Amino acid sequence: MYNIAMETKTNKFLNILFFLSVIFIIISGIYLRFNIYLDGYSLWMDELMLSESVIYNPIFSSLYSLEAGQKAPPLFVFFTYINSIIANSCNVYVLRFIPFISSIGTLIAFYFLSKRIFKSRIAVIVSLFLVSINTALIFYANEFKPYSSDVFICILLLLSYEYIDLKNFTIKKTLLYSVLIFFTVLSSFPSVYIIPALLISKIIEQKRFPLKLIFPFFSLAAGSLYLIWMFRNIRTIELNLEYWQSGFFNFTFSSLFNIINEFFNFLELNLSWSIICLISGILIFISQKNKYRLLIILIIFFVLLGSYFKILPLKERIMLYMTPIFILLMSKPAEMLKTIKEQKVHAFIISVFISGMLLFSVKNYNLTNLNSIVRMQPYQDRIQVKKDVETILNNYNNELIITDCSDFQGSVKYYNLVQKKLLNLKMMEYYDDFENKLNTLKQFKDIHLIIRATSENYPYFYNKIKKISAENNLEYNDNFIDNNKNVHLVHIYKKP
C-alpha cells in the first residue's frame, strides 16, 4: 500500500511538473514573438508589394489578382483586408496580425500534435521547446507573408488525421469536407501536398475507397486549378530561377543533402548534430507502429515530387511549413527516455546522449536569456533600417537618397503608403548606375545627397564621390547625421 501511495504521489508530481513545463514553454514562445511584434519595424519590399493589394484594391480583388507580381494565398490577403477594415487602419500591426496569431496557434496546436506522435512526455517537452525558440518561426511570425500561417495550417491538417473516418463518411460530411479542402488550398499553398497525403494514407489504413471520396479529390483539384488560373501571368519563381535552383529536388543524394543543409542553416541549427538526430528519429519512427508513420512518409514524398516538378522550391522561408515535421523527427530519440522505467539502462544512456545533441543542435543561443534568442541578424538589420529612416525624416525631406539596402527603400515607401506621410524624398536605386547618376547631377555644381550605407558598403559610394569630384574640380563634405554612422549627408559643390 505504501508503494502504491508513493507511486501515486510521484505520478501527481510528474503530471504537475509536465503541465507547468508546457505552460512555461508556450508562454515563453508567445513572449518571444510578441516582443518583435511590438517593435513594429517597417515593411521590407516584399511585404510592401503584397500590402499594395490590401491598400489600393477593392476587397474582393485579392480573390482573383494581386499587385506587383506577388504570389500569396488569396484568402490570406482577403482576411488581412477584412482585418484592416475592422481596425480602420493598415499599419504594420494590422498587416502582420494573421501571421502573429498563426504563430501562437502553432505553439498550441503543435503541443497537441506532439502528444499524439510521442509516447514520452520528455519528447513532447523537447520538441515543443525547439518550436518555441526557433528563430525562423519567431521571425516569420512577424512578417506580412503567409509562411507563418502555412506552418499553422500544416499542423492543423496533421491533427485532423484522426478525425477522418471513411467508414462514417456520409454525403453531408463528404460535401462539408470537400468545401473545407477547397478553402484550405486557397489559404495555404503547401496544403496541396498534405491533403492528398491525408486522404491516401486513410484509404490505405482503412482499406476502403468510398466513391464519395471523389468529391474531396475533385475539390483539391479545383482549388489547385483555381490557383493556377489566378497566377497564370505571374512568373515570380521563374524570374528568380537561379536563386531558387538549389531548392528543386532532382532525385539525387547530393540534391537532398543540399536542401537539408540549407534548411538547417536557415533554421539556425547545427548541421552535424541535427543530421544525427534526424537520422536517428527517422529510423525509430519507421521501426515503430504509428498511425502517423505512413502520413509523414507520404507528405515527404509529395513535397519532394512537387519540388522536382518545380511547383514550390524547398528552400528557406518557402519551406518553413516543414519545420514542425523536421522537429518531430529530430525529437523522436528523446522518446527512448521512457525505457528507464523498464530498466533498459543502455537505451536510457543513448537517449540522454541524443537528447543532449538535440539541444546542442540549436546554434547561437544564450538559453539563460530569452531575449537573446530573438536578436537574429535580419531582425536587427530591419530595426536599424527603421531607425535610419526616422533619422532622415526628422531632419530632411527634400533630398536625393542613395542606399545600400532594399529594405530601406521599402521602409520609405511604407511611410508614404501605409502611414500616409507625403514625403518628397527622391529615392534612387541602390548601387545601380551610381556613377552615371552622379555624372548627370554634377552639372548643377551643388548637390546634396543622403547616403544610407553600412560601414562595409559605404567605401563603394565614397570612392565614386571622390572620383567624380576629382575629375570635375569639385569639393565635397561628408558628415554623419546619426549615432550609428549609417546615414551620411554629402555635399558636393564647386570650388570657390
The answer to whether residue 24 sits within a structural domain is yes
Q: Residues 22-59: pLDDT tens digits?
A: 999 999 999 989 988 988 877 777 887 888 777 777 66
Q: How far apart are the first and last CA of the chain?
A: 102
The pLDDT-based confidence of 240 (bands split at 50, 70, 90) is low
Overall domain count for the chain: 2
Q: Is the pLDDT of residue 418 over 70?
A: no
368 vs 25, 126, 326, 379, CA distance in Å? 13, 16, 25, 20
One domain, residues 392 and 420:
yes
Cα 169 to Cα 23, 380, 475, distances in angstroms: 37, 51, 81
450 and 358 assigned to the same domain: no
Residue, of 317 and 67, whose pLDDT is higher: 317
Q: How confident is the model at residue 237 (pLDDT cuts 50, 70, 90)?
A: very low
Higher pLDDT, 224 or 241: 224
Specify the pLDDT at position 370. Answer: 46
Beta-bridge partner residues of 269: 362
In a domain, 236, yes or no: yes
Q: Which residue has the higher pLDDT, 76 or 486?
A: 76
- Last residue of some domain: 308, 338, 373? 373
Let me know whether 276 and 195 are in one domain.
yes
Question: What proportion of the chain, given as a percentage, has pLDDT over 90?
Answer: 24
* pLDDT given at position 64: 65
The residue out of 340, 373, 406 marking a domain boundary is: 373
Specify whether 245 is located in the same domain as 347. yes
Spatial distance between the Cα atoms of 285 and 296, rounded to a whole number of angstroms: 10
pLDDT of residue 457: 73
Q: Is the pLDDT of residue 461 over 50?
A: yes
Strands 446-452 and 426-427: unpaired
The Cα-based distances of 286 to 123, 126, 297 in angstroms read 17, 20, 9
Name which of 405, 393, 396 is nearest 431 in CA terms: 405
Percent of all residues in the chain with a pLDDT value above 70, rounded to a whole number:
70
Q: Which residues pair with 491 in a beta bridge?
A: 448, 477
Q: Which of 62-71, 145-154, 272-281, 287-296 has the lowest mean pLDDT?
A: 62-71
More confident residue, 490 or 97: 97
Say if 47 falls within a structural domain: no
Q: What is the DSSP string of 387-404?
A: HHHHHHHTT-SS-EEEES
pLDDT at 490 over 60: yes
At residue 357, the pLDDT reads 55
Global pTM reads 0.84
Q: DSSP string spanning 174-207?
A: HHHHHHHHHHHHTT-TTHHHHHHHHHHHHHHHHT
Examine residue 63 and state whether it is found in any structural domain, yes or no.
no
Note the pLDDT of residue 27: 95
Domain stop point among 373, 392, 420: 373
Q: Tell me, what's the pLDDT at 368? A: 43
Q: Which helix (H) or strand (E) holds 165?
A: none
Query: For the purposes of burial, counting CB atoms within 10 Å of the CB of 108, is it exposed (0-12), middle (13-18) or buried (19 or more)?
Result: middle
Most confident of 9-23, 170-184, 399-413, 423-437: 170-184
pLDDT of residue 124: 92
Considering only CA atoms, which of 243, 261, 194 is closest in space to residue 223? 194
Average pLDDT over residues 219-241: 67
C-alpha cell at 407: 529594405
Residue 326 and residue 414 share a domain: no
Task: Using the predicted structure, report yes or no on whether residue 106 has a pLDDT greater than 90.
Answer: yes
Grid cell 518571444 — which residue?
Answer: 32
User: Is residue 73 domain-resident?
Assistant: no
Chain center to CA of 179: 27
Residue 369 and residue 401 in one domain: no
Residue 440 pLDDT more than 70? no
Assess whether 400 and 362 both reside in one domain: no
313 with 388, same domain: the answer is no
Q: Mind listing the pLDDT tens digit for each residue in 351-398?
A: 555 555 555 555 555 444 445 555 555 666 677 777 777 777 666 655
Distance CA 466, CA 460 (A): 10
| Inside any domain, residue 484 | yes
Q: Residue 451: give the domain boundaries.
A: 378-494
What's the alpha-carbon Rg for the chain, to the nearest Å? 27
- Per-residue model confidence (pLDDT) at position 456: 73
What per-residue confidence (pLDDT) applies to 348?
52
Residue 405 has pLDDT above 80, yes or no: no
- Residue 305 pLDDT > 60: yes
Same domain, 111 and 202: yes
pLDDT, tens only, 122-164:
889 989 999 998 888 998 999 999 999 999 999 999 999 988 8
Q: Clarify whether residues 238 and 127 are in a common domain.
A: yes
* Per-residue pLDDT at 9 exceeds 50: yes
Same domain? For 367 and 229 the reply is yes
Flag whether 399 is in a domain: yes
CB crowding 221-230: b at 16 or more within 10 Å, else e: eebbebbeeb
pLDDT score recorded for residue 87: 86
Domain shared by 434 and 417, yes or no: yes
Mean pLDDT, the chain, whole residue set: 78
Residue 65 lies in a domain: no
